[in-house]
Structure 1
Amino acid sequence: MKELFSRYGVSRNRVLTATGLLLLCLGFNNCSMSTQAGNSQPVDSQLEAKVIQVIRNHPEVVMESVKTYQQKKQEQQQKAQMTFLKRMKANPKSVIGSSPTTGASEQKIVLVNFSDFQCPYCAKVHQTLKQFMAKHQGQVTLVYKHLPLTSTHSEAMPAAKASWAAGQQGKFWEFHDALFENQDKLSNSFYAATAKALNLDIKQFNQDRSSSAAIAAINNDIQFAEEIGVDSTPRLALNGEPLNEDVQLADLEALLIKVNKR
């Protein structure tokens, strides 16, 4: 393979770099996070032709490039997540922002949940969180962060907007519960019916869920998730301590005891 690189007049590292750029141009990006426009770099046309020939003859180069890219991205995500967890451990309130909260007003013990209303795993965790908060609502503050995975869940964004609109009338958590407990019914008609059942001002509800303010609020959460390396749901942390996606009530109870001992 060295001979092939020499014949083309390019180094192995340069080939791998260019291959990575080609893969990005072809759309090899994370399924839940879109590639930002304007970040791609131009690839020299002659080098591109040479790289394509190398790929045809040696597809293992592509695999190596993808592996390197994924490893680097994973390391970046882990670093960002560790920074976030340290920040949360030092100052739990700092991660709340303008997100909806329920439970303890003191906000000394904060449980953050990055979630998607159409995610089946999030619905399962929702049931666990309801049991946990029913017991510890005077001690724990639950924070909801929107992370709608729009590439796989067509109703994730509309549901997020509807919940935000309900929150403008003080009914976020009631709407939140209705969405998770009726995932098979998520639709425009269901959002309207739920708003009516909660005695919301329907005209205001419809205006709010279609507003730029709703989009901005949700995008703020999405951007925050990107910054700290969160790209899947559900993702939870209690005062800087991460929780598994398949979190059980016993796990939450044990972690709460640990946090209280600090």
Structure 2
Amino acid sequence: MGTLFNWFSPLFQHLRTWTAIGLLLLAVTLPFPAQAASRIDPQLEQQVLQIIREHPEVIIETVQSYQQQQQQKVKQSQQTFLQDLKTNPQTVIGESPTTGSAQSKTLLIEFSDFQCPYCAEAHKTLKELLAKYPDKIRLVYKNLPLVSIHAEALPAAKAAWAAYQQDKFWEYHDALFTNQKQLGEALYLNIAKNLNLDLSKFKRDLALAAPAITKDVQLAEKLAVSGTPFFVINSPTFSGVVQLADIESILTGAK
């Protein structure tokens, strides 16, 4: 993998094409806001519609130009992110939970969703890697709850953040993935009890968790991360987006 996030380019092409088609249809059928319709000269409206019908390529070119600008912004954000990961990793880590060796030269950023079944599988692999290479990797957890398909992803993320305020994030994180099929308010409270958390503080912190999670989500959006789990690694041998299956070979210097 030569460049950061380079596999997103087909997605941008797909979105650009369908956005152009959608806007063309919108322009033909709804050229003006409803509130202003009564103030538009009917003759002018027909002239505009006729121009659009005869020259739809103008709309497509405009949309393509806009999409290119947006793609360039994302590319710049990705490059800045990777540069920060190399030269000032603490800016990337921020206040996110970390585990593994604080002295490790390999930093692995994970964007994850507690209700995502693929994330649960990745969790098992990461646990094994951290146990096998305790001095070679530092894992940073970033929230990306896919709320449109996972109703409990955000509540679970809030509960884990509340546990983090009592230095129990990773224990809580593990319990959530282990009991993923039971995600819900009862489980969140039971895990807190089992970890001997101050329940009053835990409940208060639940209400304060949203800003930290939103910050992670905004970072993911800025980098055009659309699915979980998603990994970015910076090591002496490789830097960029990485597949879970390749992490061990990077840790051993084979890649």
Structure 2 length normalisation: TM-score?
0.72
1:131 partnered with 2:128: yes
> Which deviates more, 214-223 or 68-77?
68-77
Query: What does 1:212-251 align with in structure 2 at a 5 Å threshold?
Result: 214-239=209-234, 240-244=239-243, 247-248=244-245, 251=246
Task: Answer whether contact 2:113 2:144 (CA < 8 A) is retained.
Answer: yes
Q: CA deviation at 1:199?
A: 1.4
Q: Alignment partner of 2:227: what SS?
A: coil
Q: Alignment partner of 2:231: what SS?
A: strand
Q: CA deviation at 1:78?
A: 3.5
Q: 1:64 to 1:116 in 2, by over 3 A?
A: farther
Q: Which of 17, 23, 31 is residue 19 of structure 1 equivalent to?
A: 23
Identical residues among aligned pairs (%): 50
Q: 1:179 to 1:48 in 2, by over 3 A?
A: farther
Q: 1:127 to 1:72 in 2, by over 3 A?
A: farther
1:207 counterpart letter in structure 2? R
Q: 1:49 to 1:160 in 2, by over 3 A?
A: farther
> Which deviates more, 104-113 or 59-68?
59-68
Q: Please give the alpha-carbon distance, in whole angstroms, between the structure 1 residues aligned to 2:205 and 2:210.
A: 10
Q: Please give the alpha-carbon distance, in whole angstroms, between the structure 1 residues aligned to 2:48 and 2:127.
A: 54
Q: Please give the alpha-carbon distance, in whole angstroms, between the structure 1 residues aligned to 2:99 and 2:92.
A: 14
Query: What does 1:205-216 align with in structure 2 at a 5 Å threshold?
Result: 205-211=202-208, 214-216=209-211
Query: What does 1:93-132 align with in structure 2 at a 5 Å threshold?
Result: 93-132=90-129
Q: Please give the alpha-carbon distance, in whole angstroms, between the structure 2 residues aligned to 1:197 and 1:230.
A: 34
Q: Alignment partner of 1:99: what SS?
A: coil
Task: Answer whether contact 1:17 1:65 (CA < 8 A) is retained.
Answer: no
Q: CA deviation at 1:178?
A: 1.1
2:23 counterpart letter in structure 1? T
Q: Please give the alpha-carbon distance, in whole angstroms, between the structure 2 residues aligned to 1:180 and 1:96.
A: 22
Q: CA deviation at 1:75?
A: 4.8
Q: Please give the alpha-carbon distance, in whole angstroms, between the structure 1 residues aligned to 2:68 and 2:172.
A: 39
List runs of 5+ in structure 1 lacking aligned partners. 1-15, 27-41
Q: 1:48 to 1:156 in 2, by over 3 A?
A: farther
Task: Answer whether contact 1:93 1:108 (CA < 8 A) is retained.
Answer: no
Q: Please give the alpha-carbon distance, in whole angstroms, between the structure 2 residues aligned to 1:136 and 1:87.
A: 24
Q: Please give the alpha-carbon distance, in whole angstroms, between the structure 2 residues aligned to 1:191 and 1:60.
A: 54
The corresponding residue for 1:175 is 172
Q: Please give the alpha-carbon distance, in whole angstroms, between the structure 2 residues aligned to 1:98 and 1:48.
A: 54
Q: Please give the alpha-carbon distance, in whole angstroms, between the structure 1 residues aligned to 2:46 and 2:204.
A: 52
Q: Alignment partner of 1:89: what SS?
A: helix
Task: Answer whether contact 1:18 1:51 (CA < 8 A) is retained.
Answer: no
Task: Answer whether contact 1:93 1:107 (CA < 8 A) is retained.
Answer: no
Q: Please give the alpha-carbon distance, in whole angstroms, between the structure 2 residues aligned to 1:71 and 1:55.
A: 22
Q: Deviations over 1:87-136 (max 9, x none)?
A: 21233333111101111122532111011111122112111111111112
Query: What does 1:85-96 align with in structure 2 at a 5 Å threshold?
Result: 85-96=82-93
The corresponding residue for 1:255 is 250
CA RMSD of aligned residues (A): 3.8
Q: Which of 182, 197, 209 is residue 185 of structure 1 equivalent to?
A: 182
List runs of 5+ in structure 2 lacking aligned partners. 1-19
Q: Alignment partner of 2:139: what SS?
A: strand
Q: 1:238 to 1:58 in 2, by over 3 A?
A: same
